[in-house]
Amino acid sequence: MDFEWAPEYTDFRDELRGFIQQWRTPELIAEYAATHGGQGPRIREFHEAIAERGWMRMCWAKEVGGEGRNMLYQFIFVEEMEYWGMPYGNLTFTSIAPSIATFGTEQQKRHYLPGIYRGEFVFAIGYSEPNAGTDLAALRTRAERDGDEWVINGQKIWTSLADVSTHIWLAVRTDPDAPRHAGISIIVVPTDTPGVTIRPLYTMYGGHTNETFYDDVRVPVENVVGGVNAGWGVIMHALNHERVGLAATGGLARIYDQLLEYLREERPDRLADPVVRGRLAELELDLREHRMLALQNAWIISKGGTPIVEASMAKVSGTELRTRIANVAMDLLGRSGALSAESGDRAPFEGRAEFNFRLSPIFRFGGGTNEIQRDIIGFAGLGLPR
């Protein structure tokens, strides 16, 4: 056992930090905030710069155009990008790309992966339906074969980013007669295909997610990823990778650091209070514990394994910690903790604590609810009876 980072990792982190400092302009951050994780000219330019350095695909296998680097590099990459709040492709990068690399046909890999690493393709994820949330296998959106096309009809919900995406990673029922897990496929639907309708659902954290409707949407048969009726395994794989992203420590550490910096600079009286310091120390400990679970997860991937239990642990721990950090931060900031970014300089560190308080619920139920994650930990990790 050895927890020390070898120089090649620390050098990489230093290189990344230097790069990020160079690119982290107020204009880029503003564009990222305004598009809610979408696309814009500055973000595209940033993606190109990342792509040029090979960082988006450095951990992909050589056969799919990567460098086959150890997954710990991606762990570091995501940590730093999240810490500095930089747009790096998020779920398209952490969840969809590895799934295409694993399950895609040669032709799919050649088509989608370069587009993803150049930042040209942004995927929205279409799993949930109004009546298929945690019980995802209840999904009813159907795709029927018509010659060399699929004809898709149905409705999805929480299709975040659909309005700024180029593709939708859509879970559909392709065999209504099969047992429910065995009749599902993943089909890639270009967002601009006729019949796709996107309706925004405005959220309490600002911005919006979407409902998406599919009316006789026609896509080529070869858009199925991972085989017809074999979609459940693809979804589980993608969700596992999604959890790695949801569990990233960077963003959490950033809120904590900003809180500390704010108290140090603006409210030294509060920082001198032993009660305040005690609560900060507890958050620091929570962060340290969580980071270990996130690291454990990355470690399993880095040796070629598929973390299931470890991914669930990191997901539960990181998402619950986000709520706790935002909540404690607001408490320690007092009334100004409730001021939002619109209050300008009066809001402590751009209202990040207040914003994260509003944002944090989605992580706990998204990507598989934490209750389901605890079930997974119990079943798969501890072998508890069904």
Partner 1 sequence: MNLDLNDTQELLQQTVRDFLERELPFDRIRELERDGAWDQPLWKEVCRQGWLGLPFREEFGGAAGGLVDSGVLLEEFARRAAIVPALEALISGRVMQSRATAELASEWIPLILSGECVPVPALLEANDRFGDVKAQVREGRLRGEKSFVDYGQCATHHLVAARDAGELGLFLVDARTDRVECETLRNIGRTPQCSVVYSDAPVQRVSGEDGYLELVALGRSLSAVQCVGHMQQALDMTVEYAGVREQFGKRIGSFQAVRHHCANMFMRVSSARLLAFEALSGLDAGRLDPRQIAAAKAAASRAVPEVTMLAHQIHGGNGVIEENDLYFFTLRGKERSLAWGTAEECLAELAESVDARCEWL
Backbone angle region of 174, left / alpha / beta, with phi > 0 → left and psi within -120 to 50 → alpha? alpha
Residue among 186, 259, 188, 267 at smallest CA distance from 229 = 186
C-beta of 204 vs 275, nearer to partner 1: 275
Q: Which is nearer to partner 1, 58 or 316 (CB)?
A: 316
> How far, in Å, CA of 257 to CA of 252, rounded?
9
> Shortest gap between Cβ of 357 and partner 1 (angstroms)?
21
Query: Strand, coil or helix: what is 364?
Result: helix
Amino acid occupying residue 356: N
- Could you tell me if residue 68 is left (phi over 0), alpha (psi between -120 and 50 degrees) or otherwise beta? left
Q: How many CB atoms lie within 10 A of CB 380?
A: 12
| Residue 263: CB minimum distance to partner 1, A | 8
Among all residues, which ones are annotated catalytic? 242
Tokens at residue 204, please?
């309490």
Q: Considering just the CA atoms, what is the radius of gyration of the chain in Å? A: 21
Smallest separation, CB 302 to partner 1 (Å): 8
CB of 305 to partner 1, least distance (A): 11
Tokens linked to 363: 């992580």
In the complex with partner 1, the residue whose CB is nearer, 94 or 102, is: 94
Closer to partner 1 by CB, 204 or 382: give it. Answer: 382
Question: 53 or 288, CB closer to partner 1?
Answer: 288
Q: Is the dihedral of CA 159, 163, 165, 171 positive or negative?
A: positive
Q: How far apart are CA 43 and CA 24, in angstroms?
A: 11
Helix (H) or strand (E) holding 89: none
- Closest distance to partner 1 from the beta carbon of 312 (Å): 8
Q: Which residues bind partner 1 (CB under 8 A)?
A: 1-6, 9, 13, 72, 76, 79-80, 83, 249-250, 253, 256-257, 260, 263-264, 271, 274, 277-278, 280-282, 284-285, 287-293, 295-296, 299, 303, 313, 316-317, 371, 373-375, 377-379, 381-386
